[in-house]
Structure 1
């Protein structure tokens, strides 16, 4: 029990320092990017922690960025294969709801389908508007790697850690402060 408390306290210390100085101790990605094409970033987090709220705030603050949200509507209206051409498409249902109602039965199916839908979005060609931007940035609400990444990996890549209870405030000054953090983080990549 004492060992788990020690681990948790060290973990909190690590993340609180990252929140104040997001790139401290992290590897620089400048060599990876080297100015080739748009910077591609993903917003990661558990279900219902505020990813969509954060993405909406980014969209409002940075209209020149290309934001790719999770295709939740697609997950909620699965069409039977081959029915797209028919006059009446046969809907198989809401896979997201099915996964919540019967996780033992539908979790693997949902995980696979959601991965494939994110992969499809991330493989699409860059929009013309993004390629013409002075400093192009493309944001994904979750990456295809989020299914594979483990916690330890996050310790070695640049991460901007946000506090949902404070950073997603409706208060304009707090939103502006959050966007300054985002701007600094992106500039330092």
Structure 2
């Protein structure tokens, strides 16, 4: 069991972390450190090697982060944007647990390779694939930390991207029937209402579809040889609509990296922004007054 003092400290660290993220909302920080208003974000990837931004351009003051779980980060982006490579940078760091996509589970559902079936015929198999993806993501995203010292959980993609990016892409481009779309939407709403699937931060690896296509050909995963450039272009537009448009329903703060560059440059930007990604930037240890102690006790039902 955690001590009361430990829980108090953890709660105040989490609150200061979220406060800082909200303060960054609406600001773009270029690679040289110059800040500018986020309203000038281009609708397509910048030609600059990289930049870091905060989106969406909306009021995030109602976002509430529980103090009884680790800080949750989802790494999002197109196929071959570099998500798993990005996550590996944090694998050995103390207090952090990382969760790669459960691809092997998708490759073997009682002997059926759903991933291969999807890329063979999206019109036929997208419904079954997305059903199973929602299930496996729910299992991963609601998993309890393996250690009591874990303060950050980093996921490769999320239930949110399955719903608002991949499912939307499939429906918009007529790969899935409206009835199937409605069922999967209800599935997602049930998960959201009955489980804590909330995220505290999204890291968007923004990659031009043409670059992703070349990376897919180089890494040579068997199922991905069937992916056309058009599919990557559709997914890119879905990510842009979900994470970069002003009318998006997303309310989670987003850090944006352009990854049309070398691995070394991306890793360098990752290092420079590590505290923001892990919710550690400018944390302060504050003395806890008695009134705050009572509020926390009521919240945690001591």
TM-score over 0.5 for the pair: yes
SS in 1 for 2:86: helix
**Count of residues in correspondence between the two structures:** 158
Residue pairs, 1:158-169, within 5 angstroms: 158-166=253-261, 169=262
CA gap of 1:67–1:30, structure 2 versus 1, over 3 A, is farther
Equivalent-residue separation in structure 2 for 1:118 and 1:175 (angstroms): 26
Change (3 A) 1:56 1:77: same
Select 1:125's aligned residue among 144, 159, 165.
144
Please tell me whether the aligned partners of residues 75 and 155 of structure 2 are also in contact (alpha carbons under 8 angstroms).
Answer: yes
TM-score, with length taken from structure 2? 0.45
Unaligned runs of at least 5 residues, structure 1: 1-8, 80-90
Q: Give distance in 2, aligned partners of 1:137 and 1:30.
A: 22
Q: How does 1:85-164 map to 2 (within 5 A)?
A: 91=111, 93-127=112-146, 129=147, 131-133=148-150, 136-149=151-164, 151=242, 152-154=248-250, 156-164=251-259
Question: 1:182 deviation in Å?
Answer: 3.1
* Residue pair 2:99, 2:154 contacting (<8 A) in 1 also: yes
In structure 2, relative to structure 1, the CA distance for the partners of 1:10 and 1:34 (3 Å cut) is: same
Of 55, 62, 68 in structure 1, the residue corresponding to residue 87 of structure 2 is 55
Distance in 2 (alpha carbons) for counterparts of 1:27 and 1:66: 30
User: Of residues 262, 268, 275 in structure 2, which corresponds to 1:176?
Assistant: 268
Of structures 1 and 2, the one scoring higher in RCO (CA 8 A, sep 6+) is 1
- Alpha-carbon RMSD: 3.2
Taking the aligned partners of 1:28 and 1:36, their CA distance within structure 2 comes to 21
**1:149-188: per-residue Cα shift (whole Å, max 9, x none)?**
362134x43111111123xx343x7523322213224225
